Amino acid sequence: MTDNAVTAPPPKRETTSLIYDPKVRSIFFQVLTVVVIIVSVMWIAHNVSSNLARSNTASGYGFLNGRSGFDIGQSLIAYSSDSTYGRAILVGFLNTLLIAVTGIITATIVGFIIGIGRLSKNWLIAKLCTVYVEVFRNIPPLLVIFFWYSGVLAILPQPRDAIHGPLSTFLSNRGLTFPYPMWGEGASAIPIAFLVAIVLAIVFGFWQKKRQMATGKQLPTGWICAAIIIGLPLIAFIAAGSPLTFDYPIEGRFNLSGGGTIRPEFVALYLALSLYTAAFIAEIIRAGIKGVGKGQTEAAAALGLQPSKTTQLVVVPQAFRIIIPPLTSQYLNLTKNSSLGVAIGFPELFSTGSTTLNQTGQAIEMISIMLTIYLTISIVTSLFMNWFNAKMALVER
């Protein structure tokens, strides 16, 4: 019965319901997501516009050119209450960068020392470092800031009874007053000499590496570079006729006059963020060093490397690979935590930004500005550290 087989419908692939087709499902869910997002954005936009219309708030960034009318205690650039809102935000941004850079440097140094200390064979040192890490990791950073600000710095004596430090410095509840350097004529040669020195040091570094590759001979590169970087500006300083005088603080009857002052807000924020982040960095450094296999150290010893050379050439470069990614996120955390300065009145970005917001009522504009700046800082840092990480990464076959 062959014609039976011919007339029979061709064997059809068993069709399943479209619900079970992964492609259809995926498209369905994505369309659903888009619809939900669009609908909620439209709803929010409608609410925002009606809310703004009700409160008669003009939108746009024109307000940035208006007179700010508030004072800022600490500023890296010229600023007065007659300056614009835009400049106030710039001052805040620079202060955020200042606290981030100084904090990151200090936190890295302290964290490195504590992290190495926890690995020390010396029982007492290891225990002390452990106590440091466990104390700081388990309390909020804001509390550490308040500790320094209202617990320690606020109960220092009044300026008239200020504590005398070495080199004509004075410590009081107004901050640390110190002789302020005044640069005279020809001082601009020094930063130029410094830049030239850095370029020279880099060139020298490359040359010495090439020479080592060719001949196998080493020079004390680190010392020579340090000598160039310190020496050249020093020569420029002497050549320009030592154009430096100091404005010494003078103790008056009630107050200190003259000199430069580091305000207690900055000191509190700087100390708190550095010490707090250092505890986390210490743990990262410790994990990184422990993450380098014991076999590496033993192999280095078998090759006859000295312990110091083993650390320098074998352990640290490998530990770096483990350390860099979490270290980056700690640096970003410190930068973001600098916004806690608002709690003690340190004029960083968030502080000046929210003051501006309160005065102008431009909520959406101000938040978009602050959001953009913080995200830019994050992205730039991440990109730089990713590049650095890729450069350090193990080249595998």
Partner 1 sequence: MADDKLSYVRGEMIAAEQPPVSNRSVAGWLRTNLLATPKDVVLTILALALLAFTLPAIINWLIVQASWVGSDRSVCATIAQGGIQPDGWKGACWAFVHDRFQQFIFGRYPIDERWRVMLVGALFVVLLVPLMIPKLPHKTINAILLFVVFPVVAFFLLHGGYFGLPRVDTPLWGGMMVTLILSFVGIAVSFPVGILLALGRRSHMPIVKMFCVLFIEVIRGVPLIMVLFMANVMLPLFLPVGWTIDNFLRAVVGVALFASAYMAEVIRGGLQAIPKGQSEGADSLGLSYWQKMRLIVLPQAIKVVIPGIVNTFIGLFKDTSLVAIIGMYDLLNIIRLNFADTTWITPMTPLTGLVTAAIIYWIFCFGMSRYSAFMERHLDTGHKR
Tell me, what DSSP letter sits at residue 305? Answer: -
Query: Which of 66, 69, 151, 181 lies at the binding interface for partner 1 (CB under 8 A)?
Result: 151
Residues 99-111 as b/e (b if ≥16 CB within 10 A, e otherwise) read bbeebbebbbebb
CA distance linking residue 86 with residue 353, whole number of Å? 10
* Cβ nearer to partner 1, comparing 1 with 155: 155
**Phi and psi at residue 218, to the nearest 5°:** -110, 150
Does 198 contact partner 1 by CB under 8 A?
no
Which one of 7-15, 43-51, 198-206, 227-235 is the stretch in contact with partner 1 (CB under 8 A)? 43-51
Which one of 58-66, 192-200, 251-259, 374-382 is the stretch in contact with partner 1 (CB under 8 A)? 374-382
Does 375 contact partner 1 by CB under 8 A?
yes
Does 342 contact partner 1 by CB under 8 A?
yes
* Cβ nearer to partner 1, comparing 141 with 159: 141
Does 112 contact partner 1 by CB under 8 A?
no
CA distance linking residue 138 with residue 279, whole number of Å? 10
Does 37 contact partner 1 by CB under 8 A?
yes
Which one of 74-82, 186-194, 298-306, 372-380 is the stretch in contact with partner 1 (CB under 8 A)? 372-380
* Cβ nearer to partner 1, comparing 117 with 259: 117
For residues 194 and 201, the answer to whether their CB atoms sit within 8 Å is no
Does 109 contact partner 1 by CB under 8 A?
no
Residues 52-82 as b/e (b if ≥16 CB within 10 A, e otherwise) read eeeeeeeeeeebbeeebeeebebbeeebeee
Helix pair 363-392, 316-337: axis angle to 10 deg: 180
Residue among 322, 318, 310, 317 nearest 283 (CA)? 322
Query: Which of 120, 188, 218, 257 lies at the binding interface for partner 1 (CB under 8 A)?
Result: 120
Q: Would you say the C-alpha torsion 124, 129, 130, 136 has a positive or negative sign?
A: positive
Does 42 contact partner 1 by CB under 8 A?
no
Contact residues for partner 1, defined by CB under 8 A: 26, 29-30, 33-34, 37, 44, 47-48, 50-52, 54, 120-125, 128, 134-135, 137-143, 146-147, 150-152, 154-155, 336-337, 339-340, 342-343, 350, 354, 357, 363-364, 367, 370-371, 374-375, 378-379
